[in-house]
């Protein structure tokens, strides 16, 4: 029985299969002339119910056969020379080599399940690695001419997305790519290496859709276009072609495939030419000369939102204002920039319509230019600390985002809590006066972000339960040397001497367990902190954040980040994805301070949300191919006092237990203050209170 066929030339094929009966089955690799049906040579695997899983014609001229032994409980790899003389054989327990590649130096790369290994030309193990991808598995492999190993596979079948991993010749991970959002059921099963080191990944999308992904050698979506990709298998018949001429006679006849059509396997002939299947690119920029064209020296707007229809998704420019929309679906799309605000006016077209066809696959220079409508200075300050335990140094980032139409200079001051001491920054501050630290900035460009990384010494166990309060103030210079405070950011954190290395924070935090906030709150600011607590450097970090539909997704503004953001988009369902490619985040055992990272952004709430609207949020953080780390959930509840029942009724539950009742769920979102004989009772801030002294009790 034959399971694998690898064409060598027009008339010669490699055939992998097994011979013999149930108890004496033997994996074999044979070379045949399909015109004459004659065997030209063969390689036999182990006896003892061995079955083939992979075959390869090695680059050194030899052959490689891999399979399972003992009804699948162990596996083997056999290597031969060009004459099918066995050079070596090796076998293992609890491993199945499902894909193999023979290299020009005589070594072999074998992979299966989540394990990949390199076998030296003498049959000795060089190295083996295991990829942690949940319940996923490696499905295919190839090797680039420079020795880079490419592994394709998918994740947990219950929540499948596909991935590509690049390893160097020593087995170290040098890059990863992920294909598909959470739950899209992308399953790549075949990897093909094309000319120019482009790749073709083939699999399924969902239940019944064929998935074809064309990429560059790095795994990034490339300009290989396959709009009419069709694989056709013509009708065929099976004709007896004699018996296998091996040393041990077998009873099973050999069958060859005789096609009744012209060809048995016909891929399309479209070749790679460029970087993506279909792409549209441009720049969002400040049009200094108002000519509607992007000129040299005109700056881009970082992280500007571009809406795309159909699809109703958003993708964002990079740190230089460039955007690149690419799609696997040939269609007509309209791209529109979500304007930076009422202080700006367009100098170019407000949108572009592109119609992708087989011949028109790339559109460039779809630029959106803006010029100030009025002069206004608007600076947004931020302060972000790494999650910390008690005592020792901790990293803190401060930032200023210029979202106005001027390019001001100014000063940033940080008034530190007395429990915290300043250790230093690079570059150092301009001055330190008392407990306040000062920096200056010059001509901050439109939508540019000024950031500083500080080292702070944190309090110890003696301050457990205390609250750190530090204030950052942004001062703008009016051009005449007069400074005016234009924004303030507060860092407030309770000292717990313990922390979750990956968490989500929201500002304003709100009052009470439901995070009550006023109905006219404009922005919610989210901070996502992460830390590599694994045992190796993380190459890629991906954050997935499902934003509430009560938020205006197009208003998202990035306020700070620890490492450059390589990609940001928001799907039609509100799933925001932040990518940090090639982040090279060390593990905490090697470099604890550098193992932390973060991204901070803010989003507007939709106006007019009803009283008691609840907005919750948590995120999934992916370190390379590991399962996601799910953070805590933050919550805000909108409170409109005009609609609230603010006069609670006091009920005596007996034994001194008093309960303040307001209407329906209002009880769950408000804080309270109890009084006895008109005097405030310290710490009595919940809906219920136990009376300990005689008197008249009231509550607000």
Per-residue model confidence as pLDDT tens digits over 182-219: 556 677 888 888 766 777 777 776 655 556 665 655 55
- Residues in the chain, overall count: 700
Q: Where are the beta strands (DSSP E) in 70-148?
A: 74-80, 86-93, 99-102, 108-112, 115-119, 125-130, 137-143
Q: What is the pLDDT of residue 156?
A: 66
- Examine the domain organization and report whether 368 and 454 are in the same domain: no
Q: What is the 3-state secondary structure (H, E, C) of 1-16?
A: CEEEEEECCCCEEEEE
Cα 496 from Cα 123, distance rounded (Å): 55
Q: Is residue 474 part of a domain?
A: yes
Q: What are the CA-CA distances from residue 611 to residues 355, 399, 644 (Å)?
A: 44, 33, 8
Residue-wise over 167-191: b if at least 16 C-beta within 10 A, else e? bebeeebebbbbbbebebbbbbeeb
336: exposed, middle or buried (Cβ count in 10 Å: 0-12, 13-18, 19+): middle
pLDDT in tens, 654-667: 888 888 876 544 44
Which residues of 168-295 form beta strands (DSSP E)? 173-179, 186-193, 199-205, 209-215, 236-243, 253-259, 278-286
- Encoded tokens for 2: 């034959």
* Residue 541 placed within a domain: yes
> pLDDT class for 249, splitting at 50, 70, 90?
very low
Assess whether 625 and 666 both reside in one domain: no
CA diameter of the chain: 109
Q: What percent of the chain has pLDDT over 90?
A: 39
d(CA 231, CA 155): 26
For residues 473 and 444, state if they share a domain. Answer: yes
Do both 382 and 352 map to the same domain?
Answer: no
Q: Nearest to residue 23, comparing CAs of 70, 62, 65?
A: 70
Question: pLDDT tens digits for 585-644?
Answer: 999 999 988 999 999 999 999 999 998 899 999 999 999 878 789 999 999 999 887 676
Partnered with residue 432 across adjacent β-strands are 437
The pLDDT assigned to 307 comes to: 93
Same domain, 519 and 630: yes
CB 549 within 8 A of CB 572: no
Q: What is the mean pLDDT of the chain?
A: 80
**Are 418 and 288 contained in the same domain?**
no
For residue 404, CA distances in Å to 400, 459, 478 come to 12, 37, 14
**Spatial separation of the C-alpha atoms in residues 389 and 510, rounded to whole Å:** 24
Query: Of 499, 520, 555, which one is at a domain's C-terminal end?
Result: 499
- Indicate whether 180 belongs to any domain: no
Residue 474 and residue 557 in one domain: no
Q: Please report which helix (H) or strand (E) contains residue 423, including its range.
A: strand 421-425
Domain that holds residue 689: 645-699
- Write the DSSP symbol of residue 122: T
Tell me: the pLDDT tens digits for 27-58? 777 776 666 555 555 555 554 566 778 888 88
- Write down which residue in 614, 629, 644 finishes a domain: 644
Residue 89 belongs to a domain: no
The answer on 476 and 530 residing in a single domain is: no
What is the average pLDDT across 297-301? 92
Predicted confidence (pLDDT) at residue 526 exceeds the cutoff of 90: yes
Are residues 390 and 367 part of one domain? Answer: no
3 state DSSP class of 673: coil
Q: Which pLDDT score is estimated for 4?
A: 55
Same domain for 519 and 631, yes or no, is: yes
> For residues 118 and 126, is the Cβ–Cβ distance under 8 A?
yes
* CATH number for the domain harbouring residue 552: 2.60.40.740
Do the domain assignments include residue 616? yes
Residue 255's pLDDT is 35
What pLDDT does 7 receive?
Answer: 65
571 and 664 belong to one structural domain: no
Looking at the structure of the chain, the number of domains it has is: 4
10 pLDDT higher than 50 = yes
275 in any annotated domain: no
Q: Show the tokens assigned to 348.
A: 């170019």
Q: Indicate if 294 and 397 belong to the same structural domain.
A: no
- Looking at 499, 526, 552, the residue that finishes a domain is 499
Q: Of all residues in the chain, what percent carry a pLDDT higher than 70?
A: 77
pLDDT tens profile 667-679: 455 678 899 999 9
Residue 694 has pLDDT above 60, yes or no: yes
Q: What is the DSSP string of 458-514?
A: PP-GGGTT-EEEEEEEEEEE-SSS-EEEEEEEEEEEE--S---SSEEEEES--BTTT
- Provide the pLDDT for residue 235: 33
Read off the CATH number of the domain in which 396 is found: 2.60.40.10
Take residue 314 and report the two structure tokens written for it: 């958003």
pLDDT (0 to 100) of residue 72: 59
Strands 431-433 and 436-441: antiparallel
């Amino acid at each position: 029985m034959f399971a694998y066929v690898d064409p060598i030339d027009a008339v010669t094929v490699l055939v992998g299969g097994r011979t013999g009966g149930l108890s004496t089955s033997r994996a074999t690799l044979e070379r045949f002339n399909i015109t004459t049906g004659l065997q030209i040579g063969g390689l036999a695997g182990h006896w003892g119910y061995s079955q083939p899983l992979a075959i390869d014609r090695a680059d050194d001229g030899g052959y490689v056969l891999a399979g399972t032994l003992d009804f699948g409980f162990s596996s083997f790899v056999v290597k031969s020379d060009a004459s099918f003389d066995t050079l070596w054989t090796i076998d293992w327990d609890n491993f199945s080599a499902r894909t193999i590649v023979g290299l020009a130096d005589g070594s072999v790369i074998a992979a299966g399940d989540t394990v990949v290994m390199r076998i030296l030309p003498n049959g000795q193990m060089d190295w083996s690695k295991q990829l942690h991808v949940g319940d996923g598995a490696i499905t295919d492999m190839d090797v680039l001419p420079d020795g880079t190993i490419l592994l394709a596979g998918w994740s947990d079948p219950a929540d499948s997305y596909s991935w590509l991993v690049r390893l160097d010749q020593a087995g170290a991970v040098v890059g990863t790519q992920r294909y598909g959002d959470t739950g899209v059921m992308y399953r790549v099963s075949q990897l093909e290496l094309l000319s120019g080191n482009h790749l073709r990944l083939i699999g399924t999308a969902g239940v019944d859709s064929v998935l074809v992904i064309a990429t560059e050698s790095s795994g990034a979506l490339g300009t290989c276009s396959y709009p009419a990709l069709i694989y056709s298998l013509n009708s065929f018949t099976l004709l007896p072609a004699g018996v296998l001429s091996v040393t041990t006679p077998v009873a099973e006849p050999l069958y060859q495939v005789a096609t009744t059509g012209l060809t048995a396997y016909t891929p399309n002939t479209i070749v790679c030419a460029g970087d993506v299947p279909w792409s549209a690119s441009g720049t969002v920029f400040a049009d200094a000369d108002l000519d509607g064209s992007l000129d040299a020296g005109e700056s881009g707007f970082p992280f500007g939102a571009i809406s795309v229809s159909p699809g109703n998704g958003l993708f964002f420019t990079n740190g230089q204002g460039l955007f690149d929309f690419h799609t696997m679906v040939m269609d007509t799309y309209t791209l529109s920039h979500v304007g930076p605000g009422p202080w700006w006016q367009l100098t170019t077209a407000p949108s572009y319509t592109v119609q992708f066809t087989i011949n028109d696959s790339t559109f460039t220079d779809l630029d959106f230019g803006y010029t100030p409508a009025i002069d206004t200075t608007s600076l947004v300050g931020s302060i972000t600390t790494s999650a910390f335990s008690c005592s020792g140094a901790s990293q803190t980032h401060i930032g200023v985002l210029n979202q106005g139409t001027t390019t001001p200079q100014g000063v940033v001051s940080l008034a530190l809590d007395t429990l915290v001491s300043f250790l230093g920054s690079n570059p150092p501050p301009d001055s330190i006066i008392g407990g306040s630290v000062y920096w200056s900035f010059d001509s901050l460009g439109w939508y540019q972000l000024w950031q500083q990384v500080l080292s702070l010494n944190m309090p110890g166990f003696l301050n457990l339960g205390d609250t750190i309060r530090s204030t950052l103030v942004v001062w703008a210079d009016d051009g005449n040397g007069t400074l005016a405070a234009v924004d303030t950011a507060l860092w407030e954190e309770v000292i717990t001497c313990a922390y979750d290395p990956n968490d989500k924070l929201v500002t304003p935090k709100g009052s009470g367990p439901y995070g009550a906030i006023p109905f006219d709150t404009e922005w919610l600011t989210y901070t996502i902190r992460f830390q590599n607590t694994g045992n190796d450097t993380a190459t890629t970090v991906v954050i997935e954040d499902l934003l509430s539909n009560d938020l205006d997704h197009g208003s998202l503004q990035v306020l700070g980040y620890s490492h450059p953001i390589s990609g940001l988009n928001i799907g039609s369902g509100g799933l925001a994805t932040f990518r940090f490619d090639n982040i090279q985040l060390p593990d905490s055992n090697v470099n604890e301070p550098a193992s932390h990272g973060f991204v901070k952004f803010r989003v507007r709430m939709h106006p007019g949300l009803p009283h008691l609207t609840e907005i919750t949020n948590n995120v999934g953080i992916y370190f390379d191919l590991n399962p996601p780390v799910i953070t805590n959930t933050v919550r805000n509840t909108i409170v409109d006092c005009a609609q609230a029942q603010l006069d609670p009724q006091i009920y005596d539950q007996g034994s001194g237990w008093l309960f303040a009742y307001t209407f329906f769920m209002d009880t769950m979102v408000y804080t309270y203050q109890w009084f006895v004989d008109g005097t405030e009772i310290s710490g009595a801030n919940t809906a219920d209170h136990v009376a300990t002294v005689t008197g008249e009790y009231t509550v607000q």
